[in-house]
Amino acid sequence: MADQEGTEGIKARLSNIRSVEPILGAMRTISLGSWLAALKKRVRVLGYAERLLALLPALGPHLDASRSGRRMEKVSPAPVAVIVIGTERGLCGAFNNTLVRYAEDELASMRAHGSVELHTLGARVTRALQRLDHEIAWSRSLPMAALPSSDLAIELTQSWLVRYEAREIDAVYLVYNTYRDASRYEPVTVRLIPPPVPTSAEGNLPWPPPYVDTDPIDLFVRTIVLWTTSELYRTLLDSAAAEHSARYRLMEGATQNSSRLIDELTLSLQAARQQAITAEMQELAAGAGLIGGQDTLPA
């Protein structure tokens, strides 16, 4: 390497890598903190959603079927809304490309059965789908330096529920990369609206039965709205955990590679300096007549 690049070339490469290494380390640390924070929040939101679900079996016997089934009459089909949740930033490997390939298959399958209204969350996945000539009805950016907020989940859920009740959309599906473990994520599709939640469950009803001192329909609707909002927020955190774990792995690998390159270039620089010193000493010795000048040894 020293013969090809020379000492100055090795010095330049070494300086460049050393200047980048602290940035890689900082990004790795930030990604790790965001990853762990997303997992911690996701656990809390999941517990909250489970407590909401526990209320529904007790409300089931009190519901007025004639009022709760007001969407059962036949109407003209409305499009389904598909929300693809990607990232706002890059440097997370094939995260968005994997999601886009999966989303394309899901969109093709859904369009074979009816009309689809495509929505996106995250600038990266929005641009990727636009480059593939997908018409995006609505897009929204995600926080650049923080995790998605519960306010965003509340705002989006309320707007989609209003459109669902107005029969402007028939369902809402979320397409995103779900977090599996520290080294793996997987694209999935889940239905958010109408929420796939139970209204009754034989054998799981509390005893004695709870006393409902309010309109059970209003209580049921309020519980469903809260559960749907928590499910969207959990999905956003799930996607964020997958994103930041992927970015952490990428930054960890880049940091290790930079350390390895610094070690290799340092050794190459030392070898180049040693060769330069040896060559200079040989030139001095040759100039002083200490070496060279005799082709044969005396008999």
Q: What is the pLDDT of residues 40-84, one digit of tens each?
A: 999 999 999 998 888 877 777 666 543 544 454 556 689 999 999
User: In the predicted model, what is the mean pLDDT of the chain?
Assistant: 85
Tell me what the mean pLDDT of segment 226-245 comes to.
97
Tell me what the mean pLDDT of segment 84-100 comes to.
95
Tell me what the mean pLDDT of segment 194-205 comes to.
63
Domain-wise residue ranges, the chain: 2-27+252-285, 34-249
Q: What is the CA radius of gyration of the chain?
A: 31
Tell me, which fold does domain 2-27+252-285 have in CATH?
Answer: Helix Hairpins (1.10.287)
H helix intervals, 54-135: 56-59, 65-68, 95-111, 123-131
* Cβ contact 57:205 at 8 Å: yes
* Most confident among 17-21, 26-30, 264-268, 282-286 (mean pLDDT): 26-30
The residue among 30, 243, 37 whose CA lies nearest residue 121 is: 243
Could you tell me what percent of the chain has a pLDDT over 70?
85
Contacts 24+ apart (CB under 8 A), 11-15: 11/269, 13/261, 13/265, 14/262, 14/265, 14/266, 14/269
Tell me, which fold does domain 34-249 have in CATH?
Answer: Pyruvate Kinase; Chain: A, domain 1 (3.40.1380)
Which one-letter amino acid corresponds to residue 66?
S
Of the candidate ranges 47-56, 142-151, 228-237, the one whose mean pLDDT is the lowest: 47-56
What is the pTM (predicted TM-score) of this model? 0.81
Whether residue 297 is predicted with pLDDT greater than 50 in this model: the reply is no
3-state secondary structure of 289: coil
The residue among 289, 187, 197, 199 whose CA lies nearest residue 238 is: 187
Tell me what the mean pLDDT of segment 243-268 comes to.
89
Of the candidate ranges 13-27, 110-124, 150-164, 205-219, the one whose mean pLDDT is the lowest: 205-219
* Most confident among 44-58, 93-107, 277-291 (mean pLDDT): 93-107
Tell me how far apart the alpha carbons of residues 276 and 214 are, in angstroms, rounded to a whole number.
Answer: 90
* Cβ contact 277:47 at 8 Å: no
